[in-house]
């Protein structure tokens, strides 16, 4: 498919310190390894409003794996399950539960991206490989990042099919209305104790990213738990990867809980952008998506902290949407509860109104909410 306008609405935060030797044009897709791809696809369509796009399975000659591709505006998810016992995908699901395996990045030259990153120390995942069908060709290559997560570089300028060679268009009768999700704003990795700087160095040295913002444990701590976070971004600002590590607190940090249940480092959340968070969250809630709540007291003084905003406060309060401001504007955001049985991955909905930051002013209220959930799970 034509992808030339991908992430054009991504309000790039240009990061002049980053060296864009790849360069990355945007997020091509995110692949999750899941236990039951058919039902996962139905969940992302019915609850989240993704549209069916492409399919690969027994009917297309894929004997070992099945994949459903769903899309909403610029966001593409690939949901993959194994068709038999054993193998790497089953092991991934056994170790981690459902989770993100691949953050695929859209590039002009996948072979060059592989060479540039591996010669800077990246561990190869997939040597450059051309895949072709009657609709053209794509070139893929890949490297390892934190945990068992990988980056695949996708070069698709010579491809006109629906997704990639090997996939057929998927056009089931069932289609749910979209929910206004536009593009991936950022994707966050949780890494183990004292590993944040190692992975920030990886993004700096291997991928040419630079650091946007850092938080320390004084920014992000409550009475009980703490974490540290740094945001790494590529040169055109389209790709933003905050990296979190646990910090010492009186009780178990949410990052430790994640690492325990995911069995290692992995993607903690995907933040997706909308142009109207009130409509998006109303639709998602009606369709069964569960969000973290903050106490009503949050809204008593929030406007003193963030100043005037365009929206009425009442619907934001009713939906539990959080507000934060930086030097350049404000943002509205809300976080789901974990979307899996293991308390691992969740999704953030974000609407930026000029702000280029990540909601630091909300962290305390948010983490207290997460701790209430952890206490319910007996994992605080």
Give me the residue label for tokens 């992975």: 199
Q: Is 245 annotated as a binding residue?
A: no
Please name the residues in contact with 259: beta carbons below 8 A apart, sequence gap of 6 or more: 190, 192, 246, 265
According to CB under 5 A, which residues from 260 to 299 bind Fe ion? 271
CB closer to Fe ion out of 34 and 231: 231
CA nearest to 146, candidates 175, 188, 177: 188
b/e for 269-299, b at 16 or more Cβ within 10 A?
bbbbbbeebbebbbbbbeeebebbebeeebb
Number of residues in contact with Fe ion under rule CB under 5 A: 2
According to CB under 5 A, which residues from 113 to 172 bind Fe ion? none
Smallest distance from Fe ion to CB 230, Å: 13
According to CB under 5 A, which residues from 188 to 247 bind Fe ion? none
CB closer to Fe ion out of 70 and 243: 243
CB closer to Fe ion out of 231 and 340: 231
CB closer to Fe ion out of 15 and 244: 244
CB closer to Fe ion out of 30 and 271: 271
Smallest distance from Fe ion to CB 206, Å: 23
**Distance between CA atoms of residues 29 and 3, nearest Å:** 11
Smallest distance from Fe ion to CB 292, Å: 12
Q: Does 348 bind Fe ion (CB under 5 A)?
A: yes
**Distance between CA atoms of residues 256 and 370, nearest Å:** 13
Smallest distance from Fe ion to CB 59, Å: 38
Q: Which residue is nearest to Fe ion (CB)?
A: 271
Q: What are phi and psi of 360, to 5 degrees?
A: -50, -40
CA atoms within 13 A on the CB side of 268: 23
Smallest distance from Fe ion to CB 378, Å: 26
Sequence ranges of the binding site for Fe cation: 186, 269, 348
Binding site for Fe ion (CB under 5 A): 271, 348
């Amino acid at each position: 498919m034509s992808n030339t306008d991908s992430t054009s609405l991504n309000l790039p935060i240009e990061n002049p310190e980053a060296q864009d030797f790849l360069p990355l044009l945007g997020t091509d897709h995110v692949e999750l390894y899941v236990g039951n791809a058919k039902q996962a696809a139905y969940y992302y369509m019915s609850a989240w409003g993704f549209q069916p796009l492409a399919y690969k399975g027994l009917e297309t000659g894929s004997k070992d794996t099945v994949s459903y591709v769903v899309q909403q505006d610029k966001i593409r998810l690939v949901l993959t399950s194994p068709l038999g016992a054993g193998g790497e995908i089953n092991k991934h699901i056994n170790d981690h539960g459902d989770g993100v395996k691949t953050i695929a990045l859209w590039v002009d030259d996948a072979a060059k991206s592989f060479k540039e990153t591996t010669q800077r120390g990246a561990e190869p995942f997939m040597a450059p490989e051309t895949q072709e069908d009657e609709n053209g060709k794509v070139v893929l290559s890949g490297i390892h990042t934190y945990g068992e997560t990988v980056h695949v570089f996708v070069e698709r300028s010579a491809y006109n099919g629906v997704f990639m060679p090997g996939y057929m268009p998927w056009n089931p009768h069932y289609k749910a209305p979209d929910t206004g999700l536009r593009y991936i704003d950022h994707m966050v990795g949780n890494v183990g104790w004292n590993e944040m700087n190692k992975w920030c160095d990886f993004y700096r040295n291997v991928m040419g990213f630079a650091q946007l913002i850092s938080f320390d444990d004084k920014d992000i701590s409550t009475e009980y738990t703490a974490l540290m976070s740094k945001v790494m971004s590529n040169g055109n600002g389209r790709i933003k990867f905050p990296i979190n590590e646990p910090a010492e607190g009186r009780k178990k940090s949410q990052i430790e809980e994640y690492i325990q249940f995911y069995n290692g480092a992995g993607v903690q959340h995907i933040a997706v952008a909308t142009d109207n968070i009130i409509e998006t969250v109303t639709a998602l809630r009606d369709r069964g998506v569960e969000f973290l709540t903050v106490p009503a007291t949050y809204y008593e003084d929030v406007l003193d902290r963030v100043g005037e905003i365009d929206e009425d406060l009442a619907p934001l309060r009713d939906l539990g949407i959080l507000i934060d401001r930086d030097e350049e504007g404000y943002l509205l955001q809300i976080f789901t509860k974990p979307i899996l049985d293991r308390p691992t991955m969740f999704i953030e909905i974000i609407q930026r109104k000029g702000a280029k930051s990540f909601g630091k002013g909300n962290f305390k209220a948010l983490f207290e909410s997460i701790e209430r959930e952890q206490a319910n799970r007996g994992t605080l």
